[in-house]
Structure formats: structure tokens, C-alpha cells
Amino acid sequence: MADFSFPLLTATAAVPAIGAVATAAVPAAKRTAAKWLALLFSLATFVLAVVIAVRFRPGAEGPYQLTESHAWIQDFGVRYELGVDGIAVALIALTALLIPFVILAGWHDADPLESASDSGSAAGSNSRWRPTQGFFALILAVEAMVILSFEATDVFLFYIFFEAMLIPMYFLIGGFGDRAGAHGEEQAATQRSYAAVKFLLYNLAGGLIMLAAVIGLYAVTADQLGSGTFSLQQIVEARTSGKLDFGTGTERLLFLGFFFAFAVKAPLWPLHTWLPNAMGESTSPVAVLITAVVDKVGTFAMLRFCLQLFPEASSWATPVILVLALISVIYGALLAVGQRDIKRLIAYASISHFGFIILGIFAMTTQGQSGATLYMVNHGISTAALMLVAGFLITRRGSRLIADYGGVQKVAPVLAGTFLIGGLATLSLPGLAPFISEFLVLVGTFSRYPVIGIIASVGIVLAALYVLVLYQRTMTGPVKAKVEGMPDLRARELVVVAPLIALLLFLGVYPKPLTDIVNPAVDHTLSVVDKKDPKPAVRVDAVPGAGRPGHAVHDQEVEAAK
């Protein structure tokens, strides 16, 4: 096994890429075949992701494992360099896990409309552009690029995939949407393209600024190391050994260039406004793709690139970033409370959650960063559960407005039950996975910045508010007119939701497999940034089990001593 160097990481990205091409090539008439093909490829990718997780050795020597390295553009020092740490392994697993569910949930989202009868538009053929093959091929293309972004340890290589995934995403948002709402197909199409273009322009703007910083990085390394390099590991090593010194001003500028792009993608207040549009207008599976998968590249890149390339600038920017993240937490939650549209509500909730993730990353504690990584995974699963069930609901009624629903619980109890569990996960109920990550982020933030930790805790109450208000208005009360006769979840839909819920429960009770993988990577990151956890004020023997037997007696002694 030792000398067998199967390029596992490349393969994991190549399978969905090949799948995308293969799916796109299926003849137009064989739509069902294309769907199954796409599902098959996504499942194969998942198997490979599991193999990565199994072969990964937590705590082994060196920051990256399963590395691959080939020369690419030699003149500019660009290499095809892949490698994973525990954080990347967790996120690759999340991505590969969610895509099959996204495909299954969107099974009928890209079917051609039966007729133009349900919308008044006579324009017919050109009002809806939804070739089935394209839809599934684009999803697989996004998957391939996201996985490569998690794997790339060469900054330029990362940049290419980070940017390139905008193209398929753009078409997914602009080309496919929910059934037309009250204003008809024409209006819906306009809103969709607006959302798609907004998504694209925001992210392109971020990307352009990052490109400048990437070039700047090359210039500095070329200047100081003799030959320019984009290799993350080389740069980090050169920095620690003192061979490379960005200089304070340059480092800060470069940091800001990178961070800006990631903050748009994450998204961080006030760069968040593209997200509600994009998630609202796209179909639910695509919305899941955006918030649960693609956006995670932004927060992941903060951990991998911002902190490790520019540790000093990261510390310098921390106060501002923490405040922006805190604003995101509260602001996103308050806006979620005020939404009338189910999908926009979930989008704003995500903005609040991304605030938590960024808070955890920049708190610079092991709890904060492990929590943030777990948060990325758990938010992916919980939002997928909530958003996909919301999508099933919206498909049934043909409306995204909360006010159009009521009493669903009575007619479709399983749908309502799964929606509630998704909602409870979103509000971080203990027992479900998101609680663990949220608490870790809070405790990690609190131990260094108590005031910020306390204010962020208010987000817990607001989350309960927007989730329970949403549930109350849609699911409880008297049954509304068009809700009557709504069918409960079908078998395909249950296959999507049940595993997600099972996973939320499992990771809520036993997250150790995940923390075991993630913790060493976080320790490495923090050692690069040169930060140590604050020590507790009072030294207590914290070994598990210490002081347990007969501690009641001990208490008594303490009390007696007073």
C-alpha cells in the first residue's frame, strides 16, 4: 500500500467532472437516464470521499496528507498541488454527502413544463430554459470545482477553481427556478436573472480583487525567494524560517485582497445582499448548493489561506472582522424574523450562521476554530434538511410566501415533523449536531472576548424566534384553502430527508469522529498563527473522572470550611 500512489484526491474531483460531461452528453429524450447517471456519479464521488476519510490519519506528521504535486505553469511557479488536512477532509465529505441528496431532491426541478397552461405567458418555448441534462451536469461541475478548491494547496490553483465555479452556479441560478409565483413567468424570469447577475457580479468583484492579491503574492515571493511560488506550504515554511517577510503594509493589503473575496462568498455583512436574492430565486436544491456547499469555500479559505499566509495581518484585522461577524449574527437573525418569503428567511438565517462561523475562526482558539469547522459541516446538513423540506412544501403549493400556508401539520404530518426537526437543528437545539458547533464557537469566542461572546448569545434567542414563527405560521393553526389535500412526503423525498435527520442526531450525540479529524488541523493552524488558548483562572484537575468518586463528601468539606 505504501508505494501505491493512486491519485485519490484528483480522482475524487475527476469523477464528478467526468460525470458532468457524461450527463450533458445524454441524448435529449433520455432525461431519466441522465438523472440516474448523475446520481450514480455523485454516489461514486461520495464513496471516494469516504475512502479519503478512512485513509486520512489524524495527527500524522505534516500538515497535509494524500498529497499530489506536479509542475504546471513553471514560469510562474504554479503547481498542481493537492493535499488535505482534517478540515478539508470534513468539508469534502460534506460536499460529497450532500450532492446526491441535492440531485434526488431536484429530481423533477428541471423537467420541461408539461404545457404553458399554468402560466399566462404565450411566449411558451423561450419562457423557460430548463434542459434536464444541463441541470444535473452543472451540479456535478460545481461539485468537482468545490472539491478541488478544498484540495488545492497551491494558491493559484485554488484561485482558478474558486472563480470557475461561478460559471455553473450562474447558470443554475439564472436558468432554473421555482414554479412562477403570483406575478407570472415573465416577472419570475426577470427576478431570476437579476439574482444570477447579482451573484455573479458580487463574486466576480471579490475574485478580481483577490486576483490582484494573488499576483501581489507572486511578486513578493519572486522578489524575496528568488523564484515566485504559490505553494502554501513553501510560503508558510519560508515565513517561519524568516526567509520571507512581507512587511507589515504589504501583508495587510494582501490579506485584505484575499479576505474580501472570501467575505463576499461567505457572506459577511455588509457584502451579504446577493445571498437572499440567489437563494430565493433558485430552486431549493440549488439554494442548498449555494449556502451549504459553495459558500463554505469562503469560510474554509479564510482558515486555510488568510490565517496561514498572513498570520500577522489576520491578528491585526481581527477586531474589525469580529465586529462584522457579530453584526452578521444579530442582523441576519433580525432580518430573518422580518421575512415573508420562506426561502429568503432561510437565507438570512444562513447569514446569521455564517457570522457564527467567522466569529469562531477569528476568535483564534481551538474551541472557536474546531467549532467553526464543525459549524460548516453541521450548518450544511441542517440547512439542507430545512431548505429541501421547504422546497417540497413550496413545490406542492406553488408559493414561497409564508402567509399562503397554515395548518400543514394537519394534512401532512411527516412533512411538518421533518420541517420542525430541520428548524430545531437551525436553532441549535441540544441533541442535534448544530448545538455542539454553536456552543464551541460561543465558548471559544467567550474565552478570549467575553463581551462579544455574550452579545452573540442573543443570536440563540433570535434563532428560536425566526424558526418557531416560521413553523407556527406555516404548519399550525387552521388549514388554509390551498393547503387542503396537500400530499405528505413521498418515498423519494423521505429518502432525502431521513438520512440527513439521522446524521444530525448522530453528530449531535457522538461528534467525536469529526472532532478527532478536525482538532489536529486546527492545532496546526493556530500554531502557524502563533496563538494559544487562554488559561482558566483557577487551576482544576480537569482530567475526566477526576474528583468524581465521593465528591459529594468533598463538597461538604468545602462548605464546612466556610
Q: Which residues are bridge partners to 84 per DSSP?
A: 65
The nearest distance, CB 525 to other proteins, in angstroms, is 13
Residues 186-205 that bind other proteins (CB under 8 A): 190, 193-194, 196-198, 200-202, 205
Cβ count near 454 (within 10 Å):
12
Scanning 55-63, 139-147, 311-319, 327-335 for contacts with other proteins by CB under 8 A, the matching segment is: 327-335
# of chain residues touching other proteins (CB under 8 A) = 104
CA–CA distance, 109 with 103 (Å, rounded to integer): 9
Enclosing H/E stretch for 78: strand 78-84
8 binding other proteins? (CB under 8 A)? no
Question: 230 with 78: CB under 8 angstroms?
Answer: yes
423 binding other proteins? (CB under 8 A)? no
Scanning 82-90, 238-246, 282-290, 435-443 for contacts with other proteins by CB under 8 A, the matching segment is: 435-443
The amino acid occupying position 170 is Y
Query: Of the two residues 197 and 215, which places its CB atom closer to other proteins in the complex?
Result: 197
The nearest distance, CB 77 to other proteins, in angstroms, is 12
CA–CA distance, 290 with 142 (Å, rounded to integer): 10
The nearest distance, CB 83 to other proteins, in angstroms, is 21
464 binding other proteins? (CB under 8 A)? yes
Q: What are phi and psi of 228, to 5 degrees?
A: -70, 150
Query: Of the two residues 95 and 370, which places its CB atom closer to other proteins in the complex?
Result: 370
Residues 489-528 that bind other proteins (CB under 8 A): 509-512, 515, 519, 523
Scanning 38-46, 58-66, 314-322, 448-456 for contacts with other proteins by CB under 8 A, the matching segment is: 448-456
Q: What are phi and psi of 15, to 5 degrees?
A: -60, -50
86 binding other proteins? (CB under 8 A)? no
CA–CA distance, 72 with 171 (Å, rounded to integer): 29
Query: Of the two residues 46 and 170, which places its CB atom closer to other proteins in the complex?
Result: 170
Scanning 35-43, 57-65, 131-139, 429-437 for contacts with other proteins by CB under 8 A, the matching segment is: 429-437
The amino acid occupying position 535 is K
Residues 241-300 that bind other proteins (CB under 8 A): 269-271, 273
Q: What are phi and psi of 133, to 5 degrees?
A: -55, -45
Question: 294 with 346: CB under 8 angstroms?
Answer: no
Task: Single out the residue of 255, 262, 310, 331 in contact with other proteins (rule: CB under 8 A).
Answer: 331
Mask: binding to other proteins, 382-411, rule CB under 8 A, as x and -?
-------------------------x-xx-
Q: Which residues are bridge partners to 152 per DSSP?
A: 82
Q: How far, CA to CA in Å, does 550 sit from each of 52, 64, 189, 555?
A: 45, 45, 69, 9
Question: 269 with 327: CB under 8 angstroms?
Answer: yes
Q: Exposed, middle or buried, 103 (CB in 10 Å: 0-12/13-18/19+)?
A: buried
Task: Single out the residue of 335, 346, 387, 521 in contact with other proteins (rule: CB under 8 A).
Answer: 335
Tell me which DSSP letter residue 533 carries.
P
Task: Single out the residue of 457, 480, 499, 528 in contact with other proteins (rule: CB under 8 A).
Answer: 457
149 binding other proteins? (CB under 8 A)? no
CA–CA distance, 326 with 214 (Å, rounded to integer): 28
Task: Single out the residue of 257, 360, 371, 434 in contact with other proteins (rule: CB under 8 A).
Answer: 371
477 binding other proteins? (CB under 8 A)? yes
72 binding other proteins? (CB under 8 A)? yes
Report whether the peptide linkage leading into residue 267 is cis, meaning its omega lies within 30 degrees of zero: yes
Residues 159-188 that bind other proteins (CB under 8 A): 160, 164, 167, 170-171, 174
For residue 81, the SS3 value is: strand
The nearest distance, CB 13 to other proteins, in angstroms, is 16
